[in-house]
Structure 1
Amino acid sequence: MLSRLAQAFVRRLLTPFAKALLKLGFSPDAVTIIGAIGVIGGALWFFPRGEFGWGTLVVTLFVFSDTLDGTMARLSGRASPWGAFLDSTLDRIGDASVLGGILMYFAAQPDGHLTAWFALACLVFGFMVSYARARAEGLGVDAKGGIAERADRLVVVLVATGLTGLFDLPEIVLTVVLAILAVASAVTVVQRMASVKRQTSLADSSANVTGHGTARP
């Protein structure tokens, strides 16, 4: 949802930076790795200390590399399966670092265990959303979509965490957002499972019809 609406705008905005980095000799893979290090380092340094404002600013800055490296790959003609694999793998580590950092902070607070549990639920179901798609594609079917795709989840978490830190909002706000996001992620897993079930059932039905229509020797 959010990713589809903003993707073209962000790509156009980052194109001049992508061209400049290519001229300086940076490769798309290098930008992917630098961005991942920035996200992981920022999340695991600031969030466990309760510095949500600074942490969100640092993570958001490096998150843009996720689009920047893809733009660089397209402009330079270096798009490759390896680049896509590297980007996807490091994205998951970055997502885990963001939610893991939040979890670490609240797990250490006497009254923060509920929020920590919701952060853990978001982490688990977020990985399940990605796994469902990857496993489905391995079976030759599509499992995209759902109400809480990866970009949507990341934006919601960063906005809620940033507002909590920058404007000193009550931590219950972040707790509620994480609870809603955990439910939305779980629903997305079910949606993708239902999509795979529907597609595989149709494929089986088509195979049965074809088989029944074939004359036996």
Structure 2
Amino acid sequence: MLNLFARGHVNRLTDPVGRRLVDHGVSPDVVTVLGTVGAVASSVVLLPAGWLVLGAVLTTLFVLTDLIDGAMARARGYGTPFGAVLDSTCDRMVDGALFGALTWWALTLGDEPVAAAAALVCLVGGQIVSYVKARAESVGLTAEGGLVERAERLILGLLGAFLAGLDVPYAVTVALVLLAVGTVVTLGQRILAVRRSAREVQRGR
């Protein structure tokens, strides 16, 4: 949902950075991989150990590189099929690492079983939401939009961890429960979107 409102503003900030990196011969794929490694490491090392504030901040900074590689592709004037697959694959890895780490923390140091269950719903549901879109596009259908897309998943998950690190009571539980509900709703929206798209294709034949 945030993509609809924030994309233009974000692009104005990231495009100059992308142009600068391209001018210096940096590959978007390298930025994608480095950002993914940093985000995964920050999540799985810091969050389960209870370093929630530092883990949330560092993971957020590395996640933002996902905006930079897109800006670099625009600055270069083209993207590549390999780059698109790499980017999507790395996105799934970061999502899995973040919500897996939050599940681990909630079951151990956090002692918040409701948050752990919600984090698992977010982990699995988020992967399925992304898969529905990719699978639909592979057969010529569309499944755009939804209440909670990747940006919202990352923001709520990282914000909950950050606030919990500041000792805000039940911050992770509230954030993840809201996110889990939103993820289930989004999955339903994506399925309905695919159904509508399929009907439109059938009518056009």
Normalised by the length of structure 1, the TM-score is: 0.88
In structure 2, the partner of 1:213 is none
- Aligned pairs, how many? 205
In structure 1, the partner of 2:27 is 27
Name the amino acid aligned to 1:176.
Answer: V
CA distance in 2, matches of 1:66, 1:199: 29
Give the C-alpha shift of residue 27 in structure 1. 0.7
Give the C-alpha shift of residue 77 in structure 1. 2.7
Aligned residues of 1:48 and 1:104 also touching (Cα < 8 A): yes
In structure 1, the partner of 2:167 is 168
Q: Which entry has the higher C-alpha Rg, 1 or 2? A: 1
Give the C-alpha shift of residue 94 in structure 1. 0.5
Equivalent of residue 181 in structure 2, options 180, 183, 202: 183
Give the C-alpha shift of residue 25 in structure 1. 2.4
In structure 2, the partner of 1:59 is 59
Runs of 4+ in 1 over 4 A off after TM superposition: none
| Residue deviations 1:51-90 (CA, integer Å, cap 9, x gap) | 1100111011111110101111111234111111111110
Aligned pair 1:73/2:65, yes or no?
no
Name the amino acid aligned to 1:168.
Answer: D
Aligned residues of 1:11 and 1:68 also touching (Cα < 8 A): no
RMSD value, Cα: 1.6
CA distance in 1, matches of 2:82, 2:47: 31
| Residue deviations 1:147-195 (CA, integer Å, cap 9, x gap) | 0111121112112221221x3211x121022111111101111111112
CA distance in 1, matches of 2:20, 2:199: 49
Q: Which runs of 5+ in 2 are unaligned?
A: none
Identity among equivalent pairs (%): 40
